[in-house]
């Protein structure tokens, strides 16, 4: 799927770990420790994901897909949305906003931009 990400502007997106807890573990009445064991990760790792202290990695997304049936891509898109929001609203956002775009001429960077990279 190549659909664009929708990044909220007024609030931080719900982290995928919170969705995992609220939409899956609680309704299934499975403890974090039991689920961690089932997917082959430590309870500490799962707890960090649920509490937003650790991101969903590709490895974790594949494990969640296998265990819960929700596509790995969906877990990764949720994580990417949170990461993009944090980058756009975090301390480095002002620095990023001040970067001047490279001007292109017929698909080739201008001489001034090429000189800046030397």
Q: Which residue matches tokens 């949170």? A: 82
10-residue mean pLDDT profile of the chain (118 residues): values are 80 96 98 98 98 97 98 97 93 91 78 60
The CATH superfamily label for domain 16-116 reads lambda repressor-like DNA-binding domains (1.10.260.40)
Whole-structure pTM value: 0.80
Give yes or no for a contact between 5 and 81, defined as CB atoms under 8 angstroms apart.
Answer: yes
The greatest distance separating any two alpha carbons of the chain, rounded to the nearest whole angstrom, comes to 62
Q: What is the pLDDT of residue 2?
A: 72
Q: How far is CA 32 from the centre of its chain?
A: 21
Q: Report how far apart the first and last C-alpha atoms of the chain are (Å, whole number).
A: 38
Gap between the Cα atoms of 11 and 3, Å rounded: 21
Give yes or no for a contact between 45 and 54, defined as CB atoms under 8 angstroms apart.
Answer: yes
Give yes or no for a contact between 13 and 7, defined as CB atoms under 8 angstroms apart.
Answer: yes
Give yes or no for a contact between 78 and 13, defined as CB atoms under 8 angstroms apart.
Answer: yes
Token representation of residue 48: 């960090």
Q: What is the pLDDT of residue 8?
A: 85
């Amino acid at each position: 799927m190549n659909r664009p990400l929708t990044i909220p502007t007024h609030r931080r997106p719900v982290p995928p770990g919170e969705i995992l807890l609220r939409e899956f573990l609680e309704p299934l009445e499975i403890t974090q420790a039991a689920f961690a064991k089932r997917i082959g990760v430590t309870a500490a790792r799962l707890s960090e994901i649920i509490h937003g202290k650790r991101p969903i990695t590709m490895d974790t997304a594949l494990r969640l897909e296998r265990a819960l049936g929700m596509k790995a891509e969906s877990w990764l898109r949720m994580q990417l949305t949170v990461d993009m929001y944090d980058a756009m609203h975090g301390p480095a956002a002002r620095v990023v906003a001040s970067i001047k775009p490279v001007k292109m001429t017929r698909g080739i960077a201008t001489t001034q931009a090429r000189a800046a990279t030397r």
